[in-house]
């Protein structure tokens, strides 16, 4: 019997573990993929307070070491559900079951990918999924943004402030994002829209060198030389296994606010997998501390 089981070993989950351990709680962290989460794919972080520059791997390794030194147990297991027993919870995995007094869900999200060969190899070598995180590395260069919703348009606005040229590539003949963002981009001399077009190929082996495009209407093929590509075609929350116990919104995110509570007493949520406006490392770690302290108060009141 653990005090707290944390599902997910990204920044939110590991921060939650750190706070819980420092409150003298026993903690088990379960992770199905990469210890450290998606941040491990980021080649450089320059917007985390207190650190001028570090790689995503460095950040993750420091956090994992810190949590292990505090006494956490970390296991590679895929969680398939949580059962509410009242005073205790059962976390069900593909390997078995674990018991705890409280559970924190910190499964994060994954970026929707284009699905082209070499995409994973070029992440961090020209391909990014976050202009806030990586836009500064492309100052004075030519980049493309893939997508036509608010996220893509906002990325393009941000990139246009520092990049020489920004192409916005949308597979439809219209944008699905807000008209005010479209107009803001239309007013910029260094932004160009490429509508009704898809990316058919990523050029470059060790780093991104360009894109091959196909116009949907007549299948015309063109090449576009860019230094970077920002993919903004949506996020996929990893919450399917928790729909009943945590409650999801219409987009699949756990329906919780800054208090990090779910609809089930003793089950908490932290990080990008919950409903929120800003998804950054800082907001994930903040959630982790809030959820852990809430879980500790819950256990102490039992």
In this structure, the answer to whether residues 187 and 211 fall within a common structural domain is yes
Reported pTM: 0.78
Parts of the chain with a pLDDT under 70? 41, 43
* Close Cβ partners of 23 (under 8 Å, ≥ 6 residues apart): 292, 293, 296
pLDDT at site 93: 97
Whose structure tokens read 């791997």? 57
Q: Residues 246, 223: one domain?
A: no
Q: Are 213 and 271 found together in one domain?
A: no
Residue written as tokens 């879980």?
A: 295
C-alpha 179/C-alpha 173 separation (Å) is 14
Phi, psi of 65, rounded to the nearest 5 degrees? -60, -40
130 and 207 both lie in a single domain: yes
Same domain, 227 and 125: yes
Q: Which of 220, 204, 221 is nearest to 212 (CA)?
A: 221
Q: Report the Cα 229 to chain-centroid distance in Å.
A: 17
- Report whether 203 contacts 120 (CB < 8 A): no
Domain that residue 181 falls in: 119-231
- Which of these three, 231, 254, 289, is where a domain ends? 231
- Does 51 lie in the same domain as 12? yes
Domain total for the chain?
Answer: 2
Kind of pairing between the strands at 89-93 and 97-105 = antiparallel
Digit-coded pLDDT (tens) for 113-167: 999 999 999 998 999 988 888 899 999 999 999 999 988 999 999 999 999 999 9
The CATH number of the domain where 269 resides is what? 3.50.50.60
42/78 same-domain check: yes
68 and 91 fall within a common domain: yes
Pair (165, 204) in one structural domain: yes
Could you list the active site residues? Answer: 130, 133-134
């Amino acid at each position: 019997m653990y005090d707290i089981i944390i599902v997910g070993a990204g920044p939110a989950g590991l921060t939650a573990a750190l706070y819980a351990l420092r409150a003298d709680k026993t903690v088990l962290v379960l992770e199905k993929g990469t210890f450290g989460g998606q941040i491990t794919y980021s080649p450089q972080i320059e917007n985390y307070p207190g650190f001028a520059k570090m790689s995503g791997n460095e950040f993750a390794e420091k956090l994992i070491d810190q949590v292990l030194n505090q006494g956490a147990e970390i296991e590679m297991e895929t969680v398939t559900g949580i059962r509410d027993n009242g005073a205790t919870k059962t976390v069900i995995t593909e390997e078995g079951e674990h018991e705890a007094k409280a559970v924190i869900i910190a499964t994060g999200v994954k970026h929707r990918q284009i699905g082209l060969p070499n995409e994973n190899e070029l992440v961090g070598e020209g391909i990014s999924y976050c202009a806030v995180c990586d836009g500064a590395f492309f100052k004075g260069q030519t980049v493309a943004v893939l997508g036509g919703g608010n996220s893509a348009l906002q990325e393009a606005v941000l990139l246009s402030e520092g990049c020489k040229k920004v192409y916005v590539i949308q597979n439809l003949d219209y944008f699905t994002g807000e008209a005010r963002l479209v107009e803001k981009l239309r007013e910029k001399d260094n932004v160009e829209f490429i509508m009704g077009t898809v990316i058919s190929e990523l050029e470059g082996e060790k780093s991104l060198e360009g894109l091959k495009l196909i116009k949907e209407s007549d299948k015309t093929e063109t090449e576009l030389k860019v230094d970077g590509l920002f993919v903004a075609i949506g996020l996929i929350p990893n919450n399917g296994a928790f729909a009943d116990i945590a409650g999801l919104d219409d987009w699949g995110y756990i329906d919780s606010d800054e208090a990090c509570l779910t609809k089930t007493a003793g089950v908490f949520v932290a990080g990008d997998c919950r409903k929120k406006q800003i998804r950054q490392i800082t907001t994930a770690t903040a959630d982790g501390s809030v959820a852990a302290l809430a879980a500790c108060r819950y256990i102490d009141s039992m």
